[in-house]
Amino acid sequence: MSVRFQILALLLVLCCCKLSPAWAQLDAELLGGNIAPDRIDTLIARNAGDPAVAFDLLGLKAEAMAETGDLEAMAQAMTLQAALAIRHPELITADLPSLHLDAAEALIAASDKDRAIDQYYAALSALRDRAAPATMLIEVMTKIAKLEAARGNVSTAEDMKKKLRDLSPKFSADQNTRSTGAGFARVEIYYATDRALTGKTRPARMFGSGRAEGLHYGTAEVTIPRTHVPGALETPSVWKLEFSADPAKHVMLQSVTPVAQDGFFDSMQNDVRASGAKDAFVFVHGYNVSFDAAAKRTAQLAHDMNFRGLPILYSWPSKGATVGYIPDTAVVRSSGRRLTHFLEDVVAKSGATTIHLIGHSMGNRALTDALELMALRKAPLTAPIFEQVIFAAPDVDKELFAQMMPTIRPIAKRLTLYASDQDWALEASRKLHGDQPRAGQGGDVALLNDHIDTIDMSDLGNDMLAHSYVANEQSAILDIIMLFWRNLDPANRCGLTGVGSTGKRQVWRYQKGACPDATLLPVVALLRDQGAASRDQVRETLRRTYADAPEIKTLEPLLLEFARD
């Protein structure tokens, strides 16, 4: 590895302190993803002030070095990625143990056992501070013991072997009991993905960004801390002196279990029968999202909505990198063809009778294509197939999106578009697409269309997480639950005001602070879960559940208005 790159890397870790939106300064070369190896160092220097971009560029560096056979440089890039992720957890979601383990394996292949063992110890440290599977701990500790013995450190090797023999029951096969049951909740989701398998067994690394020949099916378990704040996706914070994940504090993907297609839908039907909840939602993630992040987001939505039905993730092969925008655009629409058949299977084979769909960002390119194809195949539709279809911040050409709505409209009871004029990611996409507005942009370019309700969420602000406001904000989640609960018109939902009109439609603007979101969210989630639709049912549920919570009584008139017969 060049001295220039070593100096550059050191500056990167020590000086990355400008927390600007990752898209803010991206150029076409970065967005393309396919960067020539000899350009990567230059681009890392240019983007040293943006940790998220620097992290992704280091990932490209690692890939490039693997292709050239420079395994030491590959390992160094991964090590620096880990250092950036520790320093900026609010901007970078990374699987730290996997980064260290991959670096260790590269160094072993490069015959650098001294540096490899350092990476194994770093991985072990990260694993010990999280609910790590016993098999993974045993694997890493065994490798450390062998390496220490090979280096002549007999006593250290024997000490590690003793620790292996003395593993506490808290690291048994039921590894998730490391933190007490009171510390976190478990959420099981179903997934279908056309991502290719990587050959790795670690949950966060099981699926990569390559395309599979067909769909993979399975279930995943995500733990969510009891201290979780609705709308948040808690990760370790260096400011709280948190340097690794803990299921009692952070949202974590614990396991991924592949299932054959027939068994997949049989399991869904069994869950529907056991729970009595015959509803499901399918979440299609957006650009720059890994399988790990998509699984956690799906579970978070299900948890925050108190959703007892089937939470289902459809994950397309996004590169999961800021610098992979153009490669993502190349694969997302081909996934739409597979998504349309998967949705038909969910309708026919899952056992759920009420199915909602949520697409986010670029994932809406797959979702709109899938729905248009399905609607055309099944035309004329005599009844809606889906209940609610939600297009959140769609990174789709506004005019194309509008033209697709008449075909898609009959497929659902209601179509809803969430937009914002503070969405910097969509503004960057607009510039990249010849200044053509995106369907998810609000304000003066908000879509007015007779076939869909447009909700302008611009009041939620322009912070770095604005592009994910639908999952990150309690107010947006509350509005989604209201739709799932009662299929209410925007005029009858909390905090929405009409701001313009054309024909029968107008844009509805969310007014921040107009609705007691934090208080209403768990109550409406409970009412939806209990099937309390009429006023009498709402009164009875509130009386039975909140008899000792007089503050909830103040919400009763509002809730009864939502539940009017």
Q: What is the pLDDT of residue 461?
A: 63
Query: Residue 561 — φ and ψ, nearest 5°?
Result: -65, -40
- Pairing type for strands 507-510 and 453-456 reads parallel
Quick one: pLDDT at residue 133?
56
Looking at residue 24, its pLDDT comes to 44
Alpha helices in 286-439 (DSSP H): 291-304, 325-349, 363-378, 398-408, 424-432
Interstrand relation of 252-258 and 310-315 (parallel, antiparallel or unpaired): unpaired
Q: What is the DSSP letter of 492?
A: G
SS3 sequence of 305-348: CCCCCEEEEEECCCCCCHHHHHHHHHHHHHHHHHHHHHHHHHHH
Helix (H, G, I), strand (E, B) or coil at 390: strand
Amino acid of residue 421: D
| pLDDT on residue 519 | 83
Identify the helix (H) or strand (E) that includes residue 470: helix 469-472
Q: Which residues, in sequence order, are CB contacts of 124 under 8 Å at separation 6+?
A: 137, 140, 141, 144
Cβ 74 vs Cβ 65: under 8 Å: yes
Summarised one tens digit per residue, pLDDT across range 372-424 is: 999 999 999 999 999 999 999 999 999 999 999 999 999 999 999 999 988 87
What pLDDT does 66 receive?
81
Spans in the chain with pLDDT lower than 70: 1-34, 36-37, 90-91, 93, 128-136, 166-182, 235-245, 461-473, 501-504, 564-565
